[in-house]
Amino acid sequence: MIGRGLRDRRLMIAVVGTAGILVAGAFADHRSTAAAYLVAWIAVSAVPIGTLGVLMASYLVRRAWTEELQPAMTAICATLPIFGVLFLPVLLDLATLYPAAGPHAVLPAFKTIYLAPWFVAARTVAYFIVWTWLALKLQAAWPDPNRMARTASGGLIVYAISVSFAGVDWIEALDPQFHSSIYGLLYLGMVLLDGVAGAIGLGLLCGIRRAGGYSALLLSMILLWAYLHAMQYIVIWSGNIPDEVTWYIDRSSEGWQFGLALLAVGQLVVPFFALVSRRVRADRRRLLGLCALTLAMRICEASVLAFPAIAGLHGWLTGIMLVAGLALLMGLLASGAAFRLRHARWLNFAPPRVRAEAERR
């Protein structure tokens, strides 16, 4: 108990310290700090948002390995309201980063209305209300098979649509002249990959027994992620529309080409060839390392997607603020998930009868 209290105090000091660094950075260069915080939020929030989808899929494809991950996935999903609150600084300052929210935006009538700050904020609030409600419904449905199937079946439809729209609102809208019909799916694949890696990683830390099945799941999500990125590139290349081609040119120059190369190697080439090996698939430590690599690659991906669209950033300050934002958000994610795991019994919303049957099993 003393050790846990000491860890909690240290975590609180770290959270307050990193928050103070972000506040100081906002006074030094508001735009660079806001951009860094947005990228950090996109990278870290992908874990609970993606885990929600993986949790619903596991309710429909029930096997021993999916049931082993349920406590870890439920713990991660419990942090969704936290990340909804943590997005408020971005919503209150949309005009700093999003051209459509600025006073001099020149856009078609539909984009002017759809990307209006009040409408973006309203949709974001709606997303987190729906996702939190789904997380609570899924928790209450466990372990009743019929309730689980009903909740997950309808929930996955709502989830896929809402996450796709969220990706357009939060990332694609940074460059309102760019349009991709697959962008929402690309963001959906991004968060699902992070959700799988986060759930498997936390499950391994909590002592799940097998690794082989989880390795196949991680590899499948990596291939889906790569396929969606390839599809967007092929569609834009074949269409050869200047506004869309420019989006890729901006991310293939001024040093960002190295970020793209790092993302391709770190998220596709290395994990693919590693997971082909039977020895790696069966090794818990190596699988945990690949999960950590996948989570780290979301930082690279979020940076490549967002930073080139935001002009006027100071490189060194943006980097410092990005590290501070990541430390703050990852600390809150870890502490929220740990709190849920420690207090799982009295935070269980399943009916008493269902809980009693689960305990007898």
- Is the pTM of the predicted complex or chain greater than 0.75? yes
pLDDT tens-digit profile of 239-254?
777 777 888 888 888 8
pLDDT tens-digit profile of 53-88?
999 999 988 776 678 888 899 999 999 999 999 999
Structure confidence at residue 179 (pLDDT): 83
Structure confidence at residue 8 (pLDDT): 64
Percentage of the chain with pLDDT > 70? 92
Spatial neighbors of 271 by CB under 8 A, at least 6 apart, are: 218, 219, 222, 290, 293, 294
In terms of pLDDT, which residue wins out, 265 or 254? 265
Structure confidence at residue 200 (pLDDT): 93
End-to-end CA distance of the chain: 30
Q: Output the CA torsion sign for 273, 276, 278, 282.
A: positive
Instruction: Please state the domain extents for the chain.
Output: 13-360
**Does the structure show a pLDDT above 50 at 267?**
yes
pLDDT tens-digit profile of 220-238?
999 999 999 999 888 888 8
Calculate the CA dihedral of residues 314, 32, 294, 192 and round it to 10 degrees: -150
**Does the structure show a pLDDT above 60 at 347?**
no
CA dist 224 to 164, 273, 278, Å?
15, 16, 21
Distance between CA 323 and CA 14 in Å, rounded?
A: 13
pLDDT tens-digit profile of 130-174?
999 999 999 888 878 888 889 999 999 999 999 999 999 999 999
pLDDT tens-digit profile of 269-306?
999 999 988 888 888 889 999 999 999 999 999 999 99
Assess whether the previous peptide bond of 108 is cis (omega < 30° from 0).
no
Structure confidence at residue 97 (pLDDT): 92
